[in-house]
Each structure stands twice: as structure tokens, then as C-alpha cells.
Structure 1
Amino acid sequence: MKINSAAVIGTGFIGTVHVESIRRTGVHVKGVLAGNAQSTQAGATKLHVDKAYESLDQICEDKDVSVVHVTSPNALHYEQVKQLLTAGKHVVCEKPLALSAKEGSELVELAKKTGLVNATCFNTRFYPMVHEAKHLISTNLIGAPRYVKGHYHQDWLTLDTDWNWRLESEKAGELRAVADIGSHLIDQIGFVSGLKVSEVFADLHTLVPVRQKPTGPVQTFTIDSTSVRESVTMSSDDAAGILLRFSNGARATISISQVSSGRKNSINWEISGPDGSLAFDSENPEQLWIGHRGRANEVLHKDPGMLSPDAARTAFYPGGHVEGFSETFRGLFERVYEDINNGTQSNSYPTFADGVKSLEITDAIAQSSKNSAWVKIS
């Protein structure tokens, strides 16, 4: 089945990234749907798409649309994905897949029943040097991973006047920083290392207890100093410290923060084994650090001709031509679309099953922080 065209639900920051990245794969984006008619029309005009959809039903009934990308607020994912699968649409859903592992598992079963291609958008796996790190660990360069440290730090919610729908639990769910960005870090560590999380111990922090919410609309990563505001008491996590135990006995210490001034979007990890270490930082994505005990450390630069085949497949430009955030979406989407076009299931990208694994971990993190105790992953 060849893809005719795609539709995107959501026209904000991430919805726009999806539209632009879909186009770079060569697939036509027919239309978009946002939260109301006005924002849908504004998004359709801004993104130069043919159709401003009036409802999800209209997308489901559009025979031209083969695949739908869901980038709406978290609380809408479960019902929207369920309706799209039932209508026979392939789905790429932003994380979290749902608000609980139970809801996510229902979507996994529905996807199996329908036989439709499904993906959870853990796009950060698709930095070329992340794929190369996975290859190097799989070839035993550093030995079996036994200790991991990492952080995902941002600063866009540092001020009490910073606001976004992710701060509203009825739209985003109980967790915020952990669900929004921590899930990416934990997924990426698992993807690279092959380690499976077995237990978690978490301490979630609400460091900005009262925020000044604008009474008008706000887009992600924008600061508006002119809006009339109202004070809102916060309960979701601005930051978190998390300990992980893995099924093979390995350990990890990770930090999550959306209030770290100067850190715009830093995914940083270091994975150590008995024979060496590997380290990556998304703010310097063209390099992979290789650490040694008894000789000089190395820095591997991105060059498709020097990478393993799977990593080279995610590199779209020659060495020295910097690739970043937007290319990670393209790398994921190309593999999803290849499966749709070929009628295959390649397991070369994160599926809904990976989304459920992430939800099981974040559910356990929330429980651990409430109970101040280790929690096993179900």
C-alpha cells in the first residue's frame, strides 16, 4: 500500500516540525487539525497545506489520507489514536502514547488487531551518533554496560511567568518534565545500551510552586510579558532526580529539569562498561566521545562514510555539515513510511509497544516519588 498523503493533528511547535519533516520524506501533507476552527485555519495558512480539517471524523473519512501524525495535548492521544486506528489509518503518535500504561496497552492490542503501522515519536533515537553508539555497544567495544549517568535539561519553564499547556494536568497528565523530556532520555539510554529498566527510585520537584498563567493563548517556548495573568498553584514536576536499576544489575543516575537556565535542549548521557565509556550530548550532536582507561580518549565525528550502516542511514548530509533536531524526525518517519509502503514491520523504530514500556516506567516513577520507595516495573 503506497502512502497517498498524510494529515497532522496539532499546529504548534511540534506539529509544525512534523509537517516540515514529513515533506522532507517526499510525502504530501494534505491538511491539519488544531484545537479550534480559528487555530486550524491559521495553521493551515502558515504551513501551506490544502485542507483545514473541521474534525477528527473528517480526517478519518478522508480516503486520500493514509497516515496521521498526532501531536495534540497528551490527554487527547488515547481517544484520537483509537479512532484513527479503527478508521484504518496508520498512526505516528507523539509521546506519551496515552496517560497510563493501561490505555497504551489497549492501543497496542488495537494496532495488532488492525495490522496497521504504528509508531511512538521517540525521535531522539535518530541522531546518527546515537545509532552509532548503539552499534558500538552491540559490538562489545566497551563491554557489558554497568553504569549510566545522564540528564535532560531545558530552561524554558524557569520563570514563574513561563506558561504552556503542559503545565495543566488535565491536558498533560500527572507528570510533566519526566513525561515530556525524561521519557526521551530513558528511551534513548535503553535503545543505545540494550538495558531493561527493572526498578526505579524517584524524587520529583515542583520548584516553581505558583505560576502566572496568561489569560490568552500561548505557544510553546514563547514568553509573553503583555498578557493579563492569574496566579495558579502548581503540582507537576519542574525537575526530578531518578535512580534506575536494570535487569542485568547495571545502575543509572539521571536528572531531569525544565528550569536549568542556559540549557536549551541538552540530552546528555555517559554509558560505562569494563572496557570503556561512550558519551553523547544533543547540543553537540555531531560527536561521540569514547573514553578509555589506559590510553588517550577519542572523539568520533559524524561522517556517513565512517559510520555503521544503520547509523549512516540516519545521516542525510556529508561529514562537517551539521544535522540536528529536525533530521531526527525525518529519520524516524522515513522508516515508518517504508513499512507502510512495503507492508512490512521492520522493528527499526519505536512502536506503540515502546510507548507502553515508557508509560510503565513513568507510572512507576510517579508512584516511587509519592511513596519514597523503590518501585518495580510491572
Structure 2
Amino acid sequence: MNAAVIGTGFIGTVHVQALRRLGVQVRGVLGSSAERGAARAAEIGVPKAYRDLDDLLGDGDVDVVHVTSPNHAHYAQVKAILKAGKHVICEKPLAMTSAESAEMVEIAKASGKVAAVCYNIRFYPLNQQAHGMVKDGHLGDIRFVTGHYHQDWLAKDDDWNWRLVAEEGGALRSVGDIGTHWVDLTSFVAGLKADAVMAELATFIPERKRPTGPVETFGRASGAAETVEITTDDAAMIMVRYPGGARGVMSTSQVNMGRKNSLQWDIAGQTASAAWDSETPDHLFVGHRDRPNEILMRDFTLMNETGTRAATLPPGHVEGFADSFFNFFRAVYTDVHSGARQDDSTWATFEDGHYEMLFCDAVILSAREGRWVSLDEIGGSA
């Protein structure tokens, strides 16, 4: 199978590297401009840089298109890809609004193609393990879901990225960019999707220095800059109500000094609890009341079937960020080869991506009006 990647920044390059490891031929990349695309294609050794989206979609040898462009471009690009008869893997968040994502769900259904959202963090093996444990009843009924996703890469007023601009990244930033990872992951592990949210958003840096030239994600700007107003959230605090009485609380931040990429979840059930930290991804905490707690080190000789299926490296050989993309793509491309998503597949669908957009729209309304907002209140349901 052959792939093409839209986007030549940090995450697009991660996609290319994981696809090569999987043995998928990357036919070409599409950059934000023909010049930028050509330069990056030459830099990473991809044979072709497409002139535009029509040029890419006209390549009959491309089976799957990876969308890693800025968020505002996902909606139009994904619709065109599916209508061209190609499978698609789209970076999160799926769209800018739940109205857009609802339409994308319907187009994906009608196309009959595999349509996945890139929530790669599901594919750290111990998150798959925890999903299997909850599904098999090892934690009992879920009661309380807590955690955070904190980073520091936008903690200074001269840190810059396109995600800061609402017109490009969406009205939510810390919630939309990294918070949706936490929302997707905990819903996957716990088997629960939120009924309602109560949210507060914070913008600690209301003005930033925007450089006149491009800045790579996680890179530092240099040269001339202009001062611009920022309306997107640096951080957020969100309480969650789940069906059946479970509750949750989470926070997001891109301004927590020293936290490079810290996603933590803690899920308390009726009979046991479990917890995981992205900065120590090969260890899963399992908590008990009446016997010693456990730390499960990723070891496929000790893991359940779901966790084992996602594990690649031998025990003690840490599987990290890049490996999660490899495990995710391996699962999706297996279904592409089969022609459809299989019953035991665990990658995020467009329906999952739409749920995250409903969650985001509910957060925006809750923060604006200072009240609990049900996801049922949000229009654009699929």
C-alpha cells in the first residue's frame, strides 16, 4: 500500500517516519506551499512534493492520505480525500466545530473507506492493556476519572505557533490541541463518554510576540516580531459528568514550566483502580484496597490479549511516542488491507472524533455562560 502525507511540519514528519518503519511507501508530501513542500521532501527523502491537493488526489497509486495540516484545513481536505475514493487518517482535532465533524462522519460512512482520527496515545501498549482490563470488569463499575495534560512549550510571551491563532487552530487551544487527547484516551480506557461538562478557561498571556517568519512546532522564534492579542486558552479546568453516575475532573495547560509532555489519568473503579503517566509509559499502576498495589511493567508475557496486540518491543525496551504512531498505523493499515474496520479494532473513528468536537463545543459554552452544559445541547450531532 502507498500513502501520501499532507503537512510537512513536526507531526507530518513523525507520520512519514512511522510509515517507513511499517513498510508503507510514502509516495509524496503536500506542504503549505510548493516551495516548502519541495524543500521538506528533499530533506526527509520523500520522492515527490505535490503541487496542490488536486495533484495529490490525482495520484492513482496513493491508497491512504494522512492529514497533518493545521486544524482549519481538515474539513475541506478530508471531504475531498474521501470523495476521491481514498482512505484517510486525520490528525486531531477532527474539525473546527461539531457541525463540521458531524458532516465528516456522514461522508465517511457513505464512502465505505477506512477513516481514522490520529489519537495515537491509545496505542501505548499499557493503555490498550487498561482498556482490556476495564472491559473485562477488573476495575468494577467506574466511579471517578481524574488527570491532566500539561506542557510548557508555550509558557513564554515570545513562544509562537499557529495553534495560538483561533482562525487556524480553533477557539480552544489547550483543550482542543492536547485536552482532546486526554478526553479520547480516558473515554477509550474507561468505556465512558461525557454527558455534561463544567469548564473554566484561562489565558495567562493575553499578548504575545508573533514572529514575521515561520516557526516549527516546539521550536523557538527568532528575528523580527509584532505584538498580537491572544484569545485562545493557555489552560483549562473541567469537571465531567458521565452516564451511570461516574464523575471526572481534568486540567490542561501549555504553560506549566518543566512539564514537557505530561498526560496522566487515574481511573477509580468499584473494586480496583488504575493509573498511567505518559512520561513513564511502560508502567501501569493497579491499585487495591485489601492487598498490595501493583506496578505492571509492559511485558507481553504478563499482559492481556488487547495489550499484547499493541506491544512491539521486548520487555524492558521502552516503547515511546514514535512507537505509538507505529502501533496505531499498523492497526489502521491492517483494516485498510481487510477493506473495513474490524470488530476488535481499537483505533479512534470519525464518530470518536465527532464526540471530542461535541465535548469542545460544550466546554466553550460552559466557560462562556458559567454553567454545566450537556453535550446533548450542542448541535451538529451525527
Bucket of the pairwise TM-score, normalised by the shorter protein: over 0.9
Structure 1 counterpart of 2:191, from 191, 194, 216: 194
Give the deviation of 1:106 after TM superposition: 0.9
Partner of 2:37: 40
2:81 to 81, 84, 91: 84
Contact residue 151 and residue 256 of structure 1 kept, 8 A = yes
- Of 366, 375, 379, 1:377 maps to 375
Contact 1:153–1:258, Cα closer than 8 Å, also in 2: yes
How far did 1:348 drift? 2.7
| CA deviation map 1:91-134 (0-9, x unaligned) | 00001111111111111111111111100111111110101111
Residue of 335, 341, 347 corresponding to 1:339: 335
Secondary structure at the aligned position of 1:348 is classed as coil
CA distances 1:77-97 after superposition (whole Å, capped 9, x unpaired): 000001111111110000111
Match of 1:276 in 2: 272
- Name which of 219, 238, 258 aligns with 2:254: 258
1:285 offset after TM fit, Å? 0.2
Name the structure 1 match of 2:178: 181
Give the distance between the partners of 1:111 and 1:13, measured in 2 at CA.
27
* Local SS of the residue matching 2:326: helix
Contact 2:207 2:227 in 1 (8 A): yes
Check if 1:54 corresponds to 2:36. Answer: no
Q: Does 1:93 align with 2:90?
A: yes
Choose the corresponding residue for 1:231, options 214, 227, 233: 227
**In structure 2, what is the Cα distance between the partners aligned to 1:151 and 1:359?**
18
Residue from 125, 133, 139 that aligns with 2:136: 139
Q: In 1, Cα distance between the equivalents of 2:302 and 2:270?
A: 25
Q: Secondary structure at the match of 2:245?
A: coil
State which of 291, 295, 300 in structure 1 corresponds to 2:291.
Answer: 295
Distance 2:79 2:139 in 1: 42
Q: Distance in 1 between matches of 2:34 and 2:358?
A: 35
CA distance in 2, matches of 1:8, 1:117: 16
TM-score (norm 2): 0.96
Residue equivalent to 2:379: none
Q: Which residue of 2 aligns with 1:155?
A: 152
Query: Under a length normalisation based on structure 1, what TM-score does the superposition of the two structures give?
Result: 0.97
Residue identity matched to 1:57? D
Larger CA deviation: 142-151 vs 290-299: 290-299
Q: Segments of 4+ in structure 1 off by > 4 A?
A: none
Partner of 1:313: 309
Matching residue of 2:127: 130
The unaligned stretches of length 5 or more in structure 2 are 377-382
Q: 1:162 Cα shift?
A: 0.3
Identical pairs, percent = 49
Q: By how many angstroms is 1:376 displaced?
A: 0.2
Cα RMSD after superposing both structures: 0.9
Indicate conservation of the 8 Å contact 2:162/2:169, yes or no. Answer: yes
Measured after TM superposition, the shift of residue 274 of structure 1 is 2.1
CA apart distance, 1:343:
1.2
Alignment check: 8 A CA contact 1:195 1:248 kept: no
Paired residue for 1:241, among 237, 244, 251? 237
**1:361 corresponds to:** 359
Query: How far apart in 1 are the matches of 2:24 and 2:235?
Result: 38
Shift of residue 37 of structure 1?
Answer: 1.6
Tell me whether 1:348 sits opposite 2:346 in the alignment: yes
**What CA distance in whole angstroms lies between the structure 1 residues aligned with 2:31 and 2:231?**
27
Q: How far is the alpha carbon of 1:135 from its aligned partner?
A: 1.3
Structure 1 residue 46, shift from structure 2 partner: 1.5
For 1:74 and 1:375, locate their aligned partners in 2 and report how far apart those are by CA, in whole Å. 24
Match in the other structure for 1:65: 62
User: Structure 2: which amino acid aligns with 1:349?
Assistant: W
358-367 or 328-337, which deviates more: 328-337
Unaligned runs of at least 5 residues, structure 1: none
Which residue in 1 is equivalent to 2:102? 105
Q: Alpha-carbon deviation of 1:47?
A: 1.5
Residues in 2 aligned to 1:117 and 1:141: alpha-carbon distance in whole angstroms: 32
Tell me, what secondary structure is at the counterpart of 2:310? Answer: coil
Question: C-alpha separation between the residues in 2 aligned to 1:184 and 1:357?
Answer: 12
Q: Counterpart amino acid of 2:236?
A: A
Shift of 1:314: 1.1
* Among 188, 203, 206, the residue aligned to 2:203: 206
* Counterpart-to-counterpart distance in 2, 1:280 and 1:301: 11
Q: Deviation at 1:276? A: 1.7
SS at 1:200 equivalent: strand
